Amino acid sequence: MSILNNAAAVLSCYGAGCTDVTVTEVSERLGLPKASSSRLLRAMREAGMLETIGGTRRHRPGRMMLDLAAAFRHSSSLISRASEVVVTATRQFGHTGYISLLDGREVTAVADFEGTNLLRVVSNIGRRLPAHLSATGRSLLARMSDEEVRRLYDGAPEAKVLLRELARVRSQGFAVSEQESTEGVDGIAVAVGDPSTNEAIALCIVFPHALVGEPERDRMIAALGDGAEEIARSLGDRAFIPPKLENRITT
Amino acid sequence: MSILNNAAAVLSCYGAGCTDVTVTEVSERLGLPKASSSRLLRAMREAGMLETIGGTRRHRPGRMMLDLAAAFRHSSSLISRASEVVVTATRQFGHTGYISLLDGREVTAVADFEGTNLLRVVSNIGRRLPAHLSATGRSLLARMSDEEVRRLYDGAPEAKVLLRELARVRSQGFAVSEQESTEGVDGIAVAVGDPSTNEAIALCIVFPHALVGEPERDRMIAALGDGAEEIARSLGDRAFIPPKLENRITT
DNA sequence: AACTGCGGTTCCATTTTCTGGAACTTTCCG
DNA sequence: CGGAAAGTTCCAGAAAATGGAACCGCAGTT
């Protein structure tokens, strides 16, 4: 068990609302002796991976993580192109937009773009959601074959329902979330990929459930879909599914 | 020399436009034998700190960095409060806003908030600037004593000019940047701190130089200043310098 | 003031991991 | 296809990491 794995295990503690840790908490969560935890956190501090909050015992990720997250975002021309599309839609409609990607069975937001309407949506960056319970996740899963989805959700009770849901997403070319992950907030998502890097991302807009009617939703779907289609064409994404509003299935 | 330090050195390669690295590049930049570099990158890959781009030889930061950057942002109530202020100002004025912090002699943006006006400013997150050459940097440095600034810039040729500049910032309570780091773009920044964590951040708005006149600049300064003052009051920041428009010194 | 408990740090012998150079393998390009 | 460049594996020795115990620092209680 290398120290690098221990360090990564410490870093994995962050998330799901955990913003800082102490020596004792690390010791308990990783099952390491106190002495090892103390030395590990110290070494990580000195390497810049962690920093203490105001000289207290509380350790948070070091500020180098800001640079690293940005480098991740900039490493992908797919993300850059999709960001342009979502920014434009965010400005056009005034609602908040996201770029998200899959990591195992979860989605995580890569970038967000604040809207101007009255709805202040908590930033999704750093917040992981089950893929099958979010529009972005479903739009991304819909790009996979049923066999691939079955393998990913092997043994999971939600697999059967999910496969039916994904058939629907494929038919429509977009995924919809209705107050699913946030009360009062709906979302629409369209996924697109880059075959040269074998990655895919979801473009998403979220908006207040009660204030946005179907005509505006259609316009947003079209805006995301047209932009994503342009990206798919220029990157050669043969798995792209263009949104077809006439195929919309209402619940 | 521990493997953790080597890993951190690899992670430090990202930034200044570098979004991915190969084994050979790491070998050269860190002065390590190829064998060591290959094993190091592999161990970091397996730990999730790095990932390859589409199975190529190119390594970028792993997606865990997104979570870690978010945890950093959420670890500070100062950043959260300041973000509220900047979002409000961004919506009120339509210009892009930032939260930035100091790291040595550099500033780095923690969060950005896209405006709605026609100016599309490249995201500053992940882009480090010399603190003395940016409004956010100067507003943060102005909170330090001259002695502290001299120590930070010990031996640096720009120290003398900077100290004069900081006296000006202290007199005004805000810092201004006029087409300094980006052509055609001006910025104003106000710094505020949290004595309980001993950290400080700068609230900043950037806008097109040619399109924003002095009355609107004053209103933006007031918006940032009032918000920052509220934060300072509630966190007990005795080093806070409220903006005083009557003390403005024009170049 | 002394004591106790909790969180964290240091010491040290032992164990484990990491290292560099060389040989080998894979990939890419002309 | 061949050659060169990039990357990987092997192995003995060196270096780092480990766990348990002792120690330290701080805060609260008597």
Residue whose CA lies closest to nucleotide D7 C1': B38
- Cα–Cα distance measured from residue B53 to residue B192, given in angstroms and rounded to the nearest whole number: 40
Mean pLDDT, rounded, for B21-33: 93
| Angle in degrees, CA B203, B206, B211, rounded to 5 | 145
As a rounded value in angstroms, the CA-to-C1' distance for B77 and D1 is 64
Distance (Å) from CA A127 to C1' D20?
39
Residue B50 has pLDDT above 90, yes or no: yes
Substitution target from B72, B83, B93, B124 for chain A, most A beta carbons within 10 A: B72
Question: What is the pLDDT at residue A179?
Answer: 81
Q: Which residue of B has its CA nearest to A54?
A: B197
For this complex, say whether ipTM is above 0.85.
yes
Which candidate from B2, B54, B75 shows the least CB-CB separation from A197? B54
**Binning pLDDT at 50, 70 and 90, where does residue B250 land?**
low
Nucleotide nearest to B56 (CA to C1'): C27
Q: Considering only CB atoms, which chain A residues are within 8 Å of B196?
A: 54
CA of B103 to C1' of C17 (A): 33
Q: pLDDT tier at B1 (50, 70, 90 boundaries)?
A: low
Residue A53: CB atoms within 10 A of its CB come to 18
Distance from CA of B75 to the nearest CA of A (A): 5
Is residue A120 scored above 80 in pLDDT? Answer: no
* Structure tokens belonging to residue B171: 């007199």
Nearest-Cα distance to chain B for A174, in Å, is 25
- Residue B251: pLDDT above 60? no
Work out the end-to-end distance of chain A between its first and last CA atoms, rounded to an integer number of angstroms: 50
Average pLDDT for B61-88: 92
Q: Residue A118's pLDDT is what? A: 64
B80 contacts in A (CB within 8 Å)? none
Average pLDDT over residues B217-244: 93
Instruction: Fold for B68-247, please state it.
Output: Beta-Lactamase (3.30.450)
Among B6, B63, B65, which would you mutate to test the A interface (most chain A Cβ atoms within 10 Å of its Cβ)? B65
Q: Over the stretch A124-149, which tens digit does the pLDDT of each residue have?
A: 676 788 999 999 999 999 999 999 99
CATH number (3.30.70.890, 1.10.1200.10, 3.20.20.100, 1.10.10.10) of B3-62 reads: 1.10.10.10
Q: Is the pLDDT of residue A216 over 80?
A: yes
In this predicted structure, the answer to whether residue B115 has a pLDDT above a threshold of 80 is no
Does residue B94 surpass a pLDDT of 90?
no
- The one-letter amino acid at B215: P
Amino acid identity for residue B230 in this structure: E
Higher pLDDT, B32 or A250: B32
The C-alpha atoms of residue B61 and residue B115 are separated, in whole angstroms, by 28
% chain B with pLDDT above 90: 68
**Dihedral over Cα of A208, A210, A211, A212: its sign:** positive
- B24 or B115, greater pLDDT: B24
Taken as a whole, chain A contains a residue count of 251
The DSSP symbol for B122 reads: P
Residue A150 CA neighbour count, 13 Å, CB half? 5
Percent of chain A scoring above 90 in pLDDT: 67
Using CB atoms, pick whichever of A8, A48, A125 lies closest to residue B70: A125
How distant is the Cα of A247 from the closest Cα of chain B, in angstroms? Answer: 33
CA distance B179 to A48: 32
d(CA B85, CA B204): 10
Q: pLDDT tens-digit profile of B116-148?
A: 776 666 666 767 889 999 999 999 999 999 999
In this predicted structure, what is the pLDDT of residue B118? 63
Distance CA(B97)–CA(B117), nearest Å, equals 12
- Residues of B with Cβ-Cβ distance to A43 under 8 angstroms: 2, 4
From chain A, the residues in CB contact with B108 under 8 A are: 63, 66-67
Average pLDDT across chain A, whole number: 90
Q: Which residue is closest, via its CA, to the C1' of D6?
A: B24
Average pLDDT over residues A213-222: 93
pLDDT in tens, A69-85: 999 998 888 999 999 99
Which nucleotide is nearest to B39 if distance is taken from CA to C1'?
D8
Q: Which nucleotides of D are covered by protein (CB under 7 A)?
A: 5-10, 15-22
The domain spans of chain A are 3-62, 70-247
Q: What pLDDT, on a 0 to 100 scale, did the predictor assign at position A10?
A: 95
Banded model confidence at residue B56, pLDDT cuts 50, 70, 90? confident
> Which of A74, A79, A96 is the mutation pick for testing B, counting most B CBs within 10 A?
A74
To the nearest whole Å, the CA of B242 is away from the closest chain A CA by 24
- Token pair, residue B28, equals 């050269």
Query: CATH topology for A70-247?
Result: Beta-Lactamase (3.30.450)
Cβ distance A43 to B4 less than 8 Å, yes or no, reads yes
Radius of gyration of chain B (CA): 20
**CB distance B55–A125 less than 8 Å?**
no
